Amino acid sequence: MKITLNGDPFELEAPLTVADLLARLAIDARRVAVEHNLTILKRPAFAETIVSDGDTVEIVNFVGGGDDLFLILDS
C-alpha cells in the first residue's frame, strides 16, 4: 500500500498505527508532531490511529531557524 509521507510517496506492506510507523522510522515520538489526513494528532492518539492506503502523513519536529526561507508544508 502507498501513503504520502512528508510530501513523498512511501511504501508500506499493510496498515499500521502511527506509533508503529514512527518506531519503524526510528523517530522518537516524544519529539515530533504528526498530522494524519490533515488532522493534527495528540500524542496519546499515536497508538490508536491507523495509517491506511492513500493516507497523507506529515511528521514534523523542531529545527534551527527563525528567518530563512525553508520548504513549507504542502496542503
Partner 1 sequence: MTDTPFTIAGRTFTSRLIVGTGKYSSHAVMAQAHEASGADMVTVAVRRVNISDRSRESLLDYIDTSRIFILPNTAGCYTADEAVRTARLGREAGLSNWVKLEVIGDERTLFPDNEALIEATRTLVREGFVVLPYTNDDPIACRKLEDAGAAAVMPLGAPIGSGLGIQNVNNIRIIREFARVPLIVDAGVGTASDAALAMELGADGVLMNTAIAGAEEPVRMAEAMKHAIIAGRLAYLAGRIPRKAYATASSPAEGMVGR
Q: Which residues bind partner 1 (CB under 8 A)?
A: 5-8, 10, 25-28, 31-35, 40-43, 58-73
Q: How far is the CB of 3 from partner 1 (least distance, A)?
A: 12
Task: Give the 3-state secondary structure of residue 15.
Answer: coil
Q: How far is the CB of 16 from partner 1 (least distance, A)?
A: 15
C-alpha cell at 24: 519503524
Which CB, 15 or 59, lies closer to partner 1?
59
Distance CA 63, CA 75 (A): 20
C-alpha cell at 3: 501513503
Q: How far is the CB of 53 from partner 1 (least distance, A)?
A: 19
CB of 43 closer than 8 Å to CB of 75: no
